[in-house]
Amino acid sequence: MPKSVAYLGPAGTYTEEAATLYDPGADLQSFPTIAAVGLAVSSGITDQGVVPIENSLEGAVNFTLDLLISQSGLYIQQEIVLPIQHFLMAKTGTRPADLEVIYSHPQSLGQCREFLDRCFPAVDQMASLSNSAAVVDMKESALTAAAIAPRRAATLYGVEIIGSNIQDNPNNATRFVVLDKEDHPPTGGDKTSMCLSFQEDAPGILYEALGEFARRGINLAKIESRPTKQSLGEYIFLIDCDGHQTDSRIKEAIEAIRGNNGSIKVLGSYPKWEGMS
């Protein structure tokens, strides 16, 4: 029986493309939101799920970060990096000069900001739940509309491409993660994602916590913050580091931080994507 994999749908999204790249033989099942994908995995509706987590132009996908922070029993087991090419599409016969509104996912609108500001400065931009949902929104709109979506969506929904490769940067890429109830065994070429918070604020507390990694020669690939949503000015710090959480140096760093006013939740250890620099 093929593995069941939830993805941010409907059909034709970049997430579906990433899920297909991850496991071409999987039973792909579409869900309308990132939170729904997470629930599908944690509840056992599907074996795994694929969601976007970071874009090279627009940065983190906060819905995914918040899901990993808040939902227990979910881990990152793999990552997939997908080059992103955006296409502007509309109903057959639509004149670009007549457009009144352009639909897309907020990340995609951001990745095409310069194109939209230059070519369609007076056209409204409307956020959709996904790139494919944007095509449905466009087709159902009472206004003269277009959508930004993957090339495949034009074929799936029977619309016409009126603009190609409209992303502002040719190096546009999105990192997706595979969600599972457990992370990946060590491979020797791994990375670990975790979130860090503190019981009490104090001068230099973050500096001291990061020093636990530096003193053990552990490379930090990324650090960013998200609000705790409990109180203004309180943050959770998200960290990616080289290595697997079972490595002795990483285990020691985590235990040292936990013993010094810090709380760490490991979001998963998983193999680095081979195409990443």
Domains by residue range for the chain, with CATH? 4-84+172-180 (3.40.190.10), 87-164 (3.40.190.10), 190-271 (3.30.70.260)
The predicted structure's pLDDT at residue 231 = 78
With contact defined as beta carbons under 8 Å apart, do 234 and 210 qualify?
no
Return the percentage of the chain with pLDDT > 70, whole number.
Answer: 99
Whether residue 276 is predicted with pLDDT greater than 70 in this model: the reply is no
The partner residues of 196 in beta bridges, in order of sequence, read: 237, 264
- Cα separation of 183 and 144, whole Å? 46
The predicted structure's pLDDT at residue 234 = 83
With contact defined as beta carbons under 8 Å apart, do 124 and 99 qualify?
no
Tokens of 260: 């010094």
The partner residues of 149 in beta bridges, in order of sequence, read: 87
- Convert the pLDDT of each residue in 93-112 to its tens digit: 999 999 999 999 998 999 99
Tokens of 51: 């969601």
- Cα separation of 131 and 107, whole Å? 9
Tokens of 225: 């913050």
Whether residue 116 is predicted with pLDDT greater than 90 in this model: the reply is yes
Q: Is the peptide bond before 10 cis (omega within 30 degrees of 0)?
A: yes
DSSP one-letter code for 100: -
- Cα separation of 180 and 163, whole Å? 37
Kindly give, in sequence order, each residue whose CB lies less than 8 Å from that of residue 230, ignoring residues fewer than 6 positions away.
none
With contact defined as beta carbons under 8 Å apart, do 51 and 42 qualify?
no
Whether residue 240 is predicted with pLDDT greater than 70 in this model: the reply is yes
Kindly give, in sequence order, each residue whose CB lies less than 8 Å from that of residue 264, ignoring residues fewer than 6 positions away.
194, 195, 196, 254, 257, 258
- Cα separation of 202 and 200, whole Å? 7
- What average pLDDT is seen over the chain? 93
- Convert the pLDDT of each residue in 184-208 to its tens digit: 999 999 999 999 988 777 788 889 9
Whether residue 275 is predicted with pLDDT greater than 80 in this model: the reply is no
Which secondary-structure segment (H or E) carries 2? none
- The pTM of this model reads 0.85
Tokens of 18: 């990433």
**pLDDT classification of 51: cutoffs 50, 70, 90:** very high
Asked which of 58-62, 97-101, 140-144 is least confident by mean pLDDT, the reply is 58-62
**pLDDT classification of 250: cutoffs 50, 70, 90:** very high
